[in-house]
Structure 1
Amino acid sequence: MNNQPTDSVTSDKSETIPDKMDDQLIFADESERLSAQVYSRANWKILIVDDEPEVHSITKMVLRDYSFLNRGIDFLSAFSAEGAKILLKDEPDAAIIILDVVMETDDAGLKLVKYIREDLKNRIIRIIMRTGQPGKAPENDIITNYDINDYKAKTELTSQKLFTTVTTALRSYNDLQTIEKNRRGLELILNSSAQLFRYQSLKTFAAGVLTQLLAILRLNDDAMYMRGSVFAAACGKEELSILAATGQYEDFIQKPIHTVLPPNAHKYIEIVMKEKSDLFIDDCYIGYSISQSGTHNLLYLTGCENLTEMEKNLVRIFASNVSIAFDNIYLARDVVKTQKEVIYTLGEVVETRSKETANHVQRVAQMSKLLALKSGLGEKIADIVKMAAPMHDIGKIGMPDSIMSKAESLTFEEFEIIKTHPVIGYEILKKSDREIMQAAAIIAHEHHERWDGKGYPRGLKGEETHIYGRITAIADVFDALTHKRIYKPAWSHEEAASYIKTQEGKHFDPVLADLFAKNLNEFVEINQAYADGGNEDNDE
């Protein structure tokens, strides 16, 4: 142990040094404990690691009024290398460690340096080695072999030199921290951009933009702007409305922005829309982009008064990537919308040939999605089922008109012909590598299979039939039963539901049939909402 009295700092002799009794009361058997500190997150953290209590007291006394870049100091104390290891795990953002070499062992401080750099991978903290026994730790050897930033003998570290050493170290730490934040920010932008490009829904995408933006700005935990609010808005031919929001705007999603923002914000947005560029003004940032389809997109962030230039640049880079992602979302929406139009049109053509109403495919699509959600398939898969389900009877396009328009019961031979339509539909759709069309091929092929294996065209049993086919089978039968056909009158909802219940484990998947029964009211609502001659599908 290093028990020499220290004269390393002598600017204030009035500092009270703990006497031996106090030493015993405070520090006896506590070499691994850390001193309790109350500190502000805005201050620099300096960790003092020394087995002499006087060194801690005098260092704190000399630097008690110290300030750098308008930030003071919070002191953290450990009285051994092992104690410092514990503290560094809890306080990874310490800026400086003033470290003794000789403590519980002659090389305890040196081992701690290796631990910080190699185990904790902390390359930013500035390490000032301070020793009262330089003979045991020669300066040249230490500087050469250990990643430290300064080396001082306790006898030479006067009050002025301590001030200079700490200032130099903090300036270096601040520069390295800025570089690291920039690196992390750019890394987050790259990662978040990749994430954003995977979003399919415009609303989900907008919410993802806000999440990623806040993650980037949290690079600075002290920043007041984290108390701000942010929203994403878009408009085509209609007025700007909020797509997603946090903070004070989160209760105004889908609301026009003119009903939400203060007058000065409207003025700023008009400037941005007119000049078609982003803007930092007062405490706000307004990012702007326009998609190839002519849709205007805004990213509005408040509480920006404390953003540094680096952070502003990160926001601008992120906003630029967001505008590209917006374009991709709109393009993907157009592709999906086109696919949906083709699918619904073909489905409606088939239903018209069979003298059924065009809204049959709408109802089957909506009910299939609902049942998919109830079965736990998730929103994305449920949407695929919804978009593919209208193609369930596409194979009927190959059926003779004489059979499709026949009002009487079909003969055995005619029914055998009808039973080929799932295969025809599958052959039409299977060539596409599009996810929706692949799902449609499965549904067309398997929606007439039965749970008991008595269905057609392949006699699949139980879960041999894809869940897409098992879901659509229930939706198709329920809708067919509850609507008039040329060969039968319409059943009531209760009669149709009762039939499906009796067919659990026979015609239908018993789990799906049970879910249908338990949520019957929701399926009836769809049936009524898309009544013949009624609503079109306006979902995004």
Structure 2
Amino acid sequence: MTTREDDDFLIFAEEDPLEKNTGPASQDRWKIIIVDDEQEVHHLTKMVLSDFAFDGKRLEFISAYTEVTALSLIEEHEDAAVILLDVVMDADDTGLKIVKYIREQLNRTSVRIILRTGQPGQAPERMVITNYDINDYKEKTELTSQKLFTTMMAALRSYRDIIVIENNKVGLEKIINSSADLFELKSMRKFASGVLTQLTSILNLNKNALHCNSYAAAKGQEEIYILAASGDYSFSDNEPIGNVVPPHVFQCIERAFRDKASEFRDNCFTCYFQSKSGKENVIYFEGSKELNEWNRYLIEIYCANVSIAFENIYLNEEVENTQKEIIFTLGEIAETRSKETGQHVKRVAEYSKLLALKYGIAEEEAEIVRLASSMHDVGKVAVPDAILNKPGKLTPEEFEVIKNHTNHGYAMLNHSKREMMQTAAIIAYQHHEKYDGTGYPNGLAGEDIHIYGRIAALADVFDALGSDRVYKQAWPIDRILDYFREERGRHFDPVLVDIFFENLNYMLEIKRKYAD
């Protein structure tokens, strides 16, 4: 380009073909790709727009002088806002080929493409506008500094509005998908963590996600405590909120609980939820940028679904807690008939969960083992009192009756298809099997015994030996430990015995916590 209006004609030194603006990160600037084989066009464009700003953001220029370089840079910079594109470069239709590549191959519809040509005869405006998906067409001779400014302003306005629409669409899609996922999360802590993750996803819709902090809090009888937090936060269950969050966050959360109301501020919000049963929760979210009206709309829609999910989880927890009480009560009934305490049931349950976790069983499955193991002796309800509570040695015939409690327990529990009851049936049936095959009722050996049965066997014997029974006194701990060393690979799974000794302190702590 060699002809310009006098006040626009500028000569510049050569620059590197791939030079980019330096300064703030690209997410704080609009990316403008200049594709032209004339260096002066690049120089002039950058000079004219050097002080240009739109919506509080400056421009970042990216230069390409050949078709190959242009295609590479366009593919690399997915977030480019505007492409200033020459028509005639390597070939007479280079620019037109690049347009088709952007729209059809890369499927990028949001980037604004402005064709600039110094040879309008090679690409007549009407034909180009009709046949190619471009947003503006300019002859280089008509691009004065003012017109270039105006053209860029119009292009960026259009790009910004398209991105807002696309993000709003993505935000609504995320809410629809996230709301479905909410009801898959069962435990309150998992649910709270999922809510924070999904909120971040909904509000930070581009690759350059906003920095944010978020917390989910619950109100206990006396204190507010943290359920979940985003980022690198470490806290223990039911830890007071003041030990975890910054003071300004604590004040917002405390105010939400006090006023029983949600609140929006410039770059943060607190959402307050109260269940029908009176349980209270607050979600706090803080981003690095101001929340606009659309953000607030998305949050309100999402939080309406969160409120329903909170209610459902509390109802579900109430049902689960009731079921757990019933399960432990069933186990306690069996133990009470044999003049043993319900604490035996609790200890065996806790031992079993600890061993399951250390063996490598997942938390959710280990919790099922904990609950199911409380019913290990439920079959004793079918054993006559005279035999069950006989203080002296049992006859062979009486021992056969006692042994049948495993079959009775299995028959009572196995009819249910629920995972909890199926696990309980396995434990009731196999907790007297021995690793060397000398146990009952089926003489199973090694890994033919289900891991649930092997775990319950160790937990049950450990507690039974350390407890008074109608037919014996409790053994001292040293004698119990000697017995376990002797029975490693005989009565008990050797791997579980090793785990038992590695975690003996935790086992003894359970014993103290649930002492008779």
User: Which TM-score applies when normalising by structure 1?
Assistant: 0.87
C-alpha distance in 1 between matches for 2:212 and 2:127: 51
CA apart distance, 1:8 = 6.4
C-alpha distance in 1 between matches for 2:440 and 2:216: 50
Structure 1 unaligned regions, length at least 5: 28-33, 533-540
**Change in 2 beyond 3 A, CA 1:365/1:83:** same
C-alpha distance in 2 between matches for 1:270 and 1:364: 44
| Alignment partner, residue 17 of structure 1 | 12
Q: Output aligned runs, 1:294-309, within 5 Å.
A: 294-303=278-287, 306-309=290-293
CA contact (8 A) 1:113 1:146 kept: yes
1:365 equivalent to 2:349? Answer yes
Greater displacement, 165-174 / 190-199:
190-199
* Residue in structure 1 matching 2:415, options 419, 428, 431: 431
C-alpha distance in 2 between matches for 1:345 and 1:301: 42
1:289 equivalent to 2:273? Answer yes
1:524 equivalent to 2:503? Answer no
C-alpha distance in 1 between matches for 2:372 and 2:414: 12
The one-letter code matched in structure 2 to 1:16 is I
* Residue in structure 1 matching 2:382, options 398, 405, 410: 398
**Change in 2 beyond 3 A, CA 1:8/1:175:** farther
CA apart distance, 1:130 = 1.8
C-alpha distance in 1 between matches for 2:439 and 2:124: 88
CA apart distance, 1:168 = 1.6
Q: Output aligned runs, 1:26-105, within 5 Å.
A: 26=16, 34-40=18-24, 41-105=27-91
How far does the alpha carbon of each residue in 1:372-402 deviate from its partner, in whole angstroms, 9 at most, with x for none? 1101112111111111110111111111111
How far does the alpha carbon of each residue in 1:211-267 deviate from its partner, in whole angstroms, 9 at most, with x for none? 2222222226778xx455332222254443332234698669745457867589758
SS in 2 for 1:428: helix
CA contact (8 A) 1:129 1:152 kept: yes
| Alignment partner, residue 361 of structure 2 | 377
CA apart distance, 1:365 = 0.7
**Change in 2 beyond 3 A, CA 1:172/1:469:** same
Greater displacement, 52-61 / 206-215:
206-215
**Change in 2 beyond 3 A, CA 1:268/1:492:** closer
| Alignment partner, residue 506 of structure 1 | 490
Greater displacement, 420-429 / 167-176:
420-429
How far does the alpha carbon of each residue in 1:136-163 deviate from its partner, in whole angstroms, 9 at most, with x for none? 3333443333322222232333333322
| Alignment partner, residue 467 of structure 1 | 451
1:477 equivalent to 2:473? Answer no
* Residue in structure 1 matching 2:217, options 233, 258, 264: 233
Greater displacement, 183-192 / 260-269:
260-269
**Change in 2 beyond 3 A, CA 1:304/1:71:** closer
| Alignment partner, residue 538 of structure 1 | none
**Change in 2 beyond 3 A, CA 1:141/1:419:** farther
| Alignment partner, residue 470 of structure 2 | 486
| Alignment partner, residue 212 of structure 1 | 198
CA contact (8 A) 1:185 1:219 kept: yes
Greater displacement, 91-100 / 361-370:
91-100
**Change in 2 beyond 3 A, CA 1:466/1:177:** same
| Alignment partner, residue 332 of structure 2 | 348
| Alignment partner, residue 456 of structure 1 | 440
The one-letter code matched in structure 2 to 1:320 is A
C-alpha distance in 2 between matches for 1:103 and 1:253: 65
| Alignment partner, residue 306 of structure 2 | 322
| Alignment partner, residue 122 of structure 1 | 108
C-alpha distance in 2 between matches for 1:263 and 1:453: 64
**Change in 2 beyond 3 A, CA 1:298/1:397:** same
Greater displacement, 183-192 / 378-387:
183-192
User: Which TM-score applies when normalising by structure 2?
Assistant: 0.91
The one-letter code matched in structure 2 to 1:500 is F
**Change in 2 beyond 3 A, CA 1:267/1:138:** closer
Paired-residue identity, %: 53
**Change in 2 beyond 3 A, CA 1:442/1:114:** farther
How far does the alpha carbon of each residue in 1:253-301 deviate from its partner, in whole angstroms, 9 at most, with x for none? 7454578675897588557754x54221465412111112211111123
Say how many residue pairs are matched.
513
User: How large is the RMSD of aligned CA atoms in angstroms?
Assistant: 2.8
Greater displacement, 261-270 / 168-177:
261-270
CA apart distance, 1:479 = 1.0
SS in 2 for 1:123: coil
How far does the alpha carbon of each residue in 1:57-81 deviate from its partner, in whole angstroms, 9 at most, with x for none? 1111111122222322111112223
The one-letter code matched in structure 1 to 2:390 is K
**Change in 2 beyond 3 A, CA 1:313/1:253:** farther
CA contact (8 A) 1:450 1:461 kept: yes
* Residue in structure 2 matching 1:160, options 128, 142, 146: 146
